[in-house]
Amino acid sequence: MKKKRTAYRLILIAISGIFLLSGCVSGSGNYGRLNWNDDVKYAFEAFEVDPSYNYYYFGPTNFPKAFIGIDKDLTHVTELWRPVDLTPEILQRWIWMHAHRKPWNINRYGSDILDKSGERIGVYYSLGSWRQWTTVMVLSDNEVSIGSPNDGTGNGTQRLSDRFQTDT
For 87-117, what is each residue's pLDDT tens digit? 999 999 988 876 655 545 455 689 999 999 9
Asked if residue 90 is part of any domain, the answer here is: yes
The confidence score (pLDDT) of residue 148 equals 86
Asked if residue 77 is part of any domain, the answer here is: yes
For 17-73, what is each residue's pLDDT tens digit? 554 444 444 444 789 999 989 899 899 989 999 999 999 999 888 888 889 999 999
The confidence score (pLDDT) of residue 115 equals 93
Q: Are residues 6 and 56 in the same domain?
A: no
Q: Are residues 125 and 93 in the same domain?
A: yes
Inform me whether the pLDDT recorded for 131 exceeds 90: no
Could you give the C-alpha distances from 159 to 82, 139, 149, 152, 162, in angstroms and in order?
17, 15, 11, 13, 6
d(CA 168, CA 157): 23
Q: Are residues 1 and 73 in the same domain?
A: no
3-state DSSP call for residue 98? Answer: helix
The confidence score (pLDDT) of residue 126 equals 86
Q: Are residues 53 and 135 in the same domain?
A: yes
User: In 3D, which of 128, 124, 107, 123 has the Cα closest to residue 63?
Assistant: 128
The confidence score (pLDDT) of residue 78 equals 84
pTM above 0.75, yes or no: no
Confidence band of 4 (pLDDT split at 50, 70, 90)? low
Q: Are residues 82 and 127 in the same domain?
A: yes
Q: Are residues 72 and 12 in the same domain?
A: no
The confidence score (pLDDT) of residue 63 equals 82
Q: Are residues 62 and 96 in the same domain?
A: yes
| Beta pairing, strands 33-36 & 109-114 | antiparallel
Owning domain of residue 132: 31-162
Q: Are residues 81 and 20 in the same domain?
A: no
3-state DSSP call for residue 16? Answer: helix
Q: Are residues 47 and 96 in the same domain?
A: yes
Q: Are residues 91 and 58 in the same domain?
A: yes
User: In 3D, which of 77, 52, 75, 142 has the Cα closest to residue 43?
Assistant: 52
Asked if residue 168 is part of any domain, the answer here is: no
Q: Are residues 90 and 135 in the same domain?
A: yes
Asked if residue 167 is part of any domain, the answer here is: no
